[in-house]
Amino acid sequence: MAVGIFDSGLGGLTVLDAVSKAMPEVPFVYYGDNSHAPYGVRDADDVYNLTTAAVERLWDEGCDLVILACNTASAAALRRMQEAWIPSDKRVLGVFVPLIEALTERQWGDNSPPREVAVEHVALFATPATVRSRAFQRELAFRAIGVDVEAQACGGLVDAIEEGDMILAEALVRSHVDALKRKMPDPQAAILGCTHYPLMQGVFQDALGADVKVYSQADLVAASLEDYLKRHPTMIGSGQTSTFLTTGDPKKVSDHATQFLRREIVFNAA
C-alpha cells in the first residue's frame, strides 16, 4: 500500500515529512535523483526522460500513485506524461494543484469560469526551468482573473541547499527577493515554487516582510493527498515498506537528509 514520492534531489523530503505526519499508516517510498540534480537548469526533454525513468522505478516498488514533489518535473513533464504515457491503472500527481487551490480558494474540480480572487499581486520564486515553463501562470489563468504574477528564477539556490551550505542559501534568498522587489515592490503573496525552498521559508518571510503571505507546498500537498486517498483508496499500491532510494552517493545523501529533517534517514542505491 505504498505511495511514491519523487524529487530531483532532497527538496521533496519537505513533502515526505508532511505527508508522513498526516498519514503515518501509509508507507512512502522516496526516490531522489540526486546524481542528476538540479533539474531546474535542464531542458524539458531531459526533465521528461529523467522523470519517467524515476516514476517507472517507483512503480516497480509497488507504488501505483506517485507524487512529483518536484516543481520542475511538475511544470516541464507532467502534462506530457498524463496525455500519452501513464497507464490507466496508475496515477502521477504534481505539486501545483494544492497551491492553485489555496491561492484561488476553489477546488480543482470546479470548472466554473475564472473569477477575481483576493490576491492581485503574487511573487513566484522557482527554478529557471519552472519559470520558463510558465506552468503556474497557465494553471492559475484557468481559475482566476486579474492576478499579476511576477516570477523570479532563483539560480543557485537548490545547489546550495543540496550541498548543505545554508549561509550561501540565505544570501541567495535575500538577493533573489531583492531582485523580485525591483520588479514588484509590493507583492501581497509569495509562492515558494520549489520543494527545496520551505527549508528557507523563514528567510523568505523575513526578506519579504511580515505583510506578505508566503505559501509553502509541503502542508498543502499533504492535505490534498490525504483527501485524494480518501476518495481513491484503490490507488494505494501493493508496496508494504517505507524506503529511501537515490541515484547519488547513498552515504552523502543520507547525511544531508538527516541534517535536513533532523532525524536519521538512510538512503539505498536506486
Where do the structural domains in the chain lie, given as residue ranges? 3-94+218-269, 97-217
Does the structure show a pLDDT above 60 at 108? no
DSSP secondary structure string for all residues of 220-251? HHHHHHHHHHHH-GGGS-S----EEEESS-HH
Single out the residue of 245, 235, 232, 218 nearest to residue 3, CA to CA.
Answer: 235
Average pLDDT, the chain: 91
pLDDT band at 100 (very low <50, low <70, confident <90, very high): confident
Active site residues: 70, 194
Tell me which fold the domain 97-217 belongs to.
Rossmann fold (3.40.50)
DSSP secondary structure string for all residues of 20-76? HHH-TTS-EEEEE-GGG--GGGS-HHHHHHHHHHHHHHHHHTT-SEEEE--HHHHHH
Percent of the chain with pLDDT over 90: 61
Per-residue pLDDT tens digits for 29-72: 999 999 998 898 899 999 999 999 999 999 999 999 999 999 88
CATH dotted code for 3-94+218-269: 3.40.50.1860
Does the structure show a pLDDT above 70 at 109? no
Same fold? 3-94+218-269, 97-217:
yes
DSSP secondary structure string for all residues of 81-99? HHHHTS-TT-EEE-SHHHH
Predicted structure pTM score: 0.85
Q: Cell numbers at residue 95, please?
A: 505539486
